[in-house]
Structure 1
Amino acid sequence: MTRTISSRVLILDRDGVINEDSDAYIKSPDEWIPLPGSIDAIARLTYAGYRIAIATNQSGVARGLLSLSDLNTMHQFMRDVITAQGGRIEMIAFCPHSPDENCQCRKPKSGLLEEIAKRMNVDLTGVPFVGDTYSDLCAARLVGAAPYLVMTGKGTLTLNRIQQQDPIDLLQDVRVFQDLGSVANRLLLQQGRS
């Protein structure tokens, strides 16, 4: 099957990009709190024709903190909140494994993004992948997607750690934004110019 190239695909990490992150894990709809402006950003991008997918590590499942049913309930809640604002998430790819399972789907590996490419029938070359961790940036690079780093969630900590290591090499292809709303503003401005 031939993959179609789409300049209007966007991939988002979940915790720290769309909703607040927590070191205690997000385990229920009650704990799922959208970041300011994130739902509006998704709605604006949906209206502009973007196909939006989510790629998220959810090791809380493997750790026994929530079940797959709990995770699906939370994702349906998130979809409902987004849909109510006029947005749409086309698909959610998640890794339920713990880091020590060495699976192929857990970011920084590329399995989740490859699943998105296959199920959405798209070439991810140059597609923005918005995340807040270094593992998000690594996964984006593995599939040729464009790594976007937001300063929400763990983003500020991620940027500081990268700058202490080798900022020129590790940040040369990374676009840095304040939050998902800022990413949406930039993408919509670029779209208006094309």
Structure 2
Amino acid sequence: MGAVCGVWQPVIIQTLLGSLERLQTLSEKKSGHPRGIQNEKTPSRKIELPLVLHSPAGHRVFVHAGLLSSHPKFQASDPRQPLSHWPTMDDQPDITKLRNQQELAVLTEIPENRYPWTVTNIKSVTDKGFVSPSRRKATPWSQLWNDTMSKCSGNSGTNAGEAYQPTSFPCYPFTVVYEHPSGRG
């Protein structure tokens, strides 16, 4: 699992999410054009569609440009990082609930992932930890995502209370599907 680029095919999204038709219908009602396309003759209107689509059953997140797997200004093993520890749960955890909680934590606990600008414009992260719309002198966000996901080891080889090695995290990998690499080819 990792970052996957490709043009979003309606059949794929409809299969995975089962809601594309409803979203397109809403978009058409708001703009008067199929799929929310506007031209100079149409007044600009805010289309109330989500910027991030989460598919818990498929362990996938759909975004326009990208998403961060960790806060870029903290070490990956920092306790403030959502994938550096198991989520706190009120009931008996199972793998499905753990995965869902971790995926939601990445979406909600990393401040940059809550900003519409980030998920629609990110190309890379600078050495100082800033999200950048430029690919120059910075690390592509997808490389950072894939590096983090490759270190997710699930619960293999650990017991309760056992510390993880710095080379692995107590998480399950999941995939970001993004529309295009925005200038990366």
TM-score band w.r.t. shorter chain: under 0.3
Higher relative contact order (CA 8 A, sep 6+): 2
Structure with higher strand content? 1
Larger-gyration structure (1/2): 2
Q: TM-score, normalised by structure 2?
A: 0.24
Q: TM-score, normalised by structure 1?
A: 0.23
Structure with higher helix content? 1
